[in-house]
Structure 1
Amino acid sequence: MLRCVNPPTGSLPKVVGAPLAPYAAHPENSRGRRFPEPEAPTRTAYQRDRDRIIHSTAFRRLVYKTQVFLNHEGDLFRTRMTHSLEVAQLGRSIARPLGLNEDLVEAIALAHDLGHTPFGHAGQDALNACMRDLSGRKAGDEDIAGFEHNLQSLRVVDALEERYPSFDGLNLTFETREGILKHCSLASARQLMRQDETGVARRFIDGGSPTLEAQLCNLADEIAYNAHDIDDGVRSGLLSWEQLQEVPLFDRYRFQALKSHPNLAGRRLLFESIRLMLSDQVYDVIDHTRQALADAGVRHVEEVRAHPVLVAFSAPMARESAQLKRFLFQNLYRHPQVQETADRAQRIVRELFAAYLAQPEERGVRGDAGNARAVADYIAGMTDRFAIREHARLFGSSLFP
């Protein structure tokens, strides 16, 4: 049922979803934005964050950024955008029965991969290596560190988006920014703390947890990519049914699907098995987290921050999920065909980085010619196909003809 929250005088009421639990992130209690702004008359702070993310340039680019299979390898494989949408859907499905803030969950989910490079983790690893090779030099006023896609996602929404006249970035709330910063090295956290007065990276130094909504997005991310990587792996022909039957978590739901539909086969059997697995994982998280919240007795978001992570699988589901992740790592992510493609993708990133650093007029960004961070920002913002075209333009031949 919809309800109104503090409607501004003379304006339409703000529309929000189901009632929130005491331990949820309540928008009226947000720690606010880096640059003060008047509240929106019909939207909560987290709804406004979500809308800004959807309209951003970085979000649109996600449709041409890869997950496991590169953009040119097929139109039906997942992209960063479809992955982000799946994370948002799973997150909202879990958030509502727990009384968490669905709008905050959606905002974090849609933004969590904005800083990812082209070519997925292969591109990230290559760009990180390029930056670390310059360790000890200066990029502007700071030491050059490596490249972390979570930190880059925060950088996108804090600085790189150029949409508003009064500030850089999207000026999102603290809670959305905190959720975007899923992981952060200690060195990067300390550097970020020196630059950012809001303390969004403090928990990586002092300990503690983010909101339950951020914790939920972390887990929904894992649930989503495990499921869709099975789908994409089978679609690509790199994973076989025989291999998947060796994974207890998946094979249990394949058996359930065949028990209900004995003649089911092919893609319908795959889809039904994945659907059953996703549903069971969602219910497992809901049940386990409800019990964990009751046992912890938390009644406010600040008590959540002081407590270890509460949104989680049950122990049996956590073990089986970890086993599935190991299977995908060994049989899909390290498959020779995927690795060969990743090697070429990393070469593109390395050679683009070196070319732009040596010839700043080619890189298409503003700033000091020696600013490695600006080059990293530019490359990280590329889509797969733009990076491939740029490399072919600069070097005269395409590594992905």
Structure 2
Amino acid sequence: MSAPYASDPARARGRRVQEEESAFRSAFQRDRDRIIHASAFRRLKHKTQVFVEHEGDYYRTRLTHSIEVGQVARTIAGALGLNDGLTEAVALAHDLGHPPFGHTGEDALHVLMAPYGGFDHNAQAIKIVTQLECHYADFDGLNLTWETLEGIAKHNGPVTGDLPYALAEYSADHDLELHTHASAEAQVAALSDDIAYNNHDLHDGLRAGLINMDEMCALPIVSDAFAAVDRAYPGLDPVRRQHEGLRRVFGAMVSDVINTSRAGLEASGAGDVHDIRHLGRAVIRFSDAMWADLQVIRKFLFENMYRAPSVMEKREEVTVIVHDLFPAFMNDPHLLPDRWQGDVARAAGDETQLARIVCDYVSGMTDRFAFQEHARLIG
């Protein structure tokens, strides 16, 4: 049964281009399906999460991460009586705007785009789903509902101050009310992202040999989880022990969000989704104790994994690739594929517009394609 503050697809604010709605799917389910079938979603298969895509078949990529976030988000939304279609749509779309090489690529593009309006992956996701996906006959983008666009833009909270150009341009034409919080469904997607990466980065770090099992098992949450496994299954095979321990870490985070958020939603007095947006605070959250423990885990991952020498060495290498490719296309835009040349012609004499075209192209690359283009153009 849906909660009163859940987003109701029958009362959605609509799409930019009016369409006849599906007889078999709600508006939000249709959004989710369009995201899954988007080219940008498929490209996430070959985009970095932490490890560059070709470094190993078992490490998470942006695609597998997004699928895991979607699974967590559905579970939490169902437990809280929220709309799982909208929750999953936002969860699956939350990383569509990531460039190759993960946050390293984003940092590089942010520096390169500083004179031209900046770069932010959430803003780029909005541009992808409203403009750059060009497959439908009646419109550019995916023609998603207002609620899904809102969730993509501000699932991490209100967006204020200097906006990245991609979000500023769209918001000026279609108000996503960036000064408010998003729906509870979008907030669930945001915390599901935290849950997924905190859990799977521990797993990937162990597989990569960057994290020591004994040190990891001394962390809060993790220590209790593995102690419970050892009590229940003494002498368990190490591979099974690792899986059993980490899935308990996963479950502890999910349970904490559900219990804390359920109490917070009831105490908020929110009668509908409008109230959720205007509470002035996020209503989907971890408990204070869990949040403090997660900061310890995050610090551990930062020091032992994200800033490990081998990871930093790769970060330097891929930063060079982005910093080489961007000026190569700026200096000779005819190097861009034929289908981009119409945009290049329309941007003639406008350096900012050309930079934004180049940014769209480079940010859309997969890791492997960026390596290939760099080898072809730079050597």
Q: Superposed, which structure 2 residues align to 1:48-127 within 5 Å?
A: 48-127=30-109
- The corresponding residue for 2:131 is 159
Matched positions, count: 364
Does the 8 Å CA contact 1:254/1:273 hold for their aligned counterparts?
yes
Quote the residue 1:209 is aligned against: 181
Post-superposition Cα deviations, 1:179-231, rounded to whole Å, max 9, x if no partner, equal 1113546211787456433311x33xx3x310000000000000000100001
Structure 1 runs, 4 residues or longer, greater than 3 Å off: 182-185, 189-197
Return closer, same or farther for 1:172/1:362 CA change in 2, 3 Å cut-off: same
What stretches of structure 1 of length at least 5 have no aligned partner? Answer: 1-18, 136-143, 397-401
Residues 370-394 of structure 1: per-residue CA shift (max 9 Å, x gap): 3101111001110000000110111
5+ residue gaps, structure 2: none
Q: Distance in 1 between matches of 2:194 and 2:12?
A: 27
Question: CA separation in 1, counterparts of 2:10 and 2:168?
Answer: 25
Contact 1:193 1:199 in 2 (8 A): no
Identify the residue that residue 251 of structure 2 maps to in structure 1.
279
CA 1:109/1:195 → structure 2, altered by over 3 Å: closer, same or farther?
closer
SS of residue in 2 equivalent to 1:52: helix
Q: CA RMSD in A?
A: 1.5
Q: 1:374: which partner in 2?
A: 357
User: Contact 1:115–1:151 at 8 Å: present in 2 too?
Assistant: yes
Matched letter for residue 231 of structure 1: H
The answer (yes or no) to whether the contact 2:90–2:148 under 8 Å persists in 1 is yes
The structure where helix makes up a greater share of residues is: 2
Identity of aligned residues (%): 45
- Cα distance change of structure 1 residues 352 and 55 upon mapping to structure 2, 3 Å threshold: same
Match of 1:311?
A: 284
Give the CA deviation at 1:343.
0.7
* 1:21 CA drift (Å): 1.1
Contact 2:120/2:164 (8 A) holds in 1: no
Deviations 1:151-191 (A, max 9, x none): 11111001100011121100101111111113546211787
Paired residues of 2:229 and 2:241 also in contact (CA < 8 A): yes
Name the SS of the counterpart of 1:312 in structure 2: coil
Q: Is the 8 A contact 1:97 1:286 kept in 2?
A: yes
1:51-88 deviation per Cα after TM superposition (whole angstroms, max 9, x unaligned): 11111100110111110001110111001110000000
**Normalised by the size of structure 2, how large is the TM-score?**
0.93
Q: TM-score by structure 1 length?
A: 0.88
Distance 1:193 1:339 in 2: 33
Preserved contact between residue 119 and residue 164 of structure 2 (Cα < 8 Å)? no
CA distance in 1: counterparts of 2:185 and 2:333, whole angstroms: 41
The verdict on how the C-alpha distance between 1:392 and 1:233 changes in structure 2, with shifts beyond 3 A counting, is same
Displacement after TM superposition at 1:243 (Å): 2.2
Q: Give a deviation string over 1:99-152, Cα, whole Å, max 9, x none.
A: 0001111111111111101111111101111111xx1xxxxxxxx211100111
Alignment partner, residue 329 of structure 1: 302
- Contact (CA 8 Å) 2:119, 2:165: kept in 1 or not? no
Partner of residue 295, structure 1: 267
> SS of the counterpart of 1:124?
helix
Task: Note the 1:136-147 alignment, pairs <5 A.
Answer: 144-147=116-119
Q: 2:211 — aligned with what?
A: 239
Partner of 2:25: 43
State the partner residue of 1:399.
none
- How has the CA–CA distance of structure 1 residues 194 and 388 changed in structure 2, closer, same or farther, with 3 Å as cutoff? closer
Residue 199 of structure 1 pairs with residue 175 of structure 2: yes
Is the partner of 1:199 in helix, strand or coil?
coil
Give the Cα separation in 2 of the matches to 1:189 and 1:382.
20
- Matched residue, 2:8: 26
Query: Partners of 2:218 and 2:325 in 1: how far apart?
Result: 41
Residue 244 of structure 1 aligns to which amino acid in structure 2? Answer: M
Distance 2:123 2:165 in 1: 12
Distance in 2 between the 1:126 and 1:193 partners?
A: 21
The residue aligned with 2:113 is 131
Shift of 1:326: 1.3
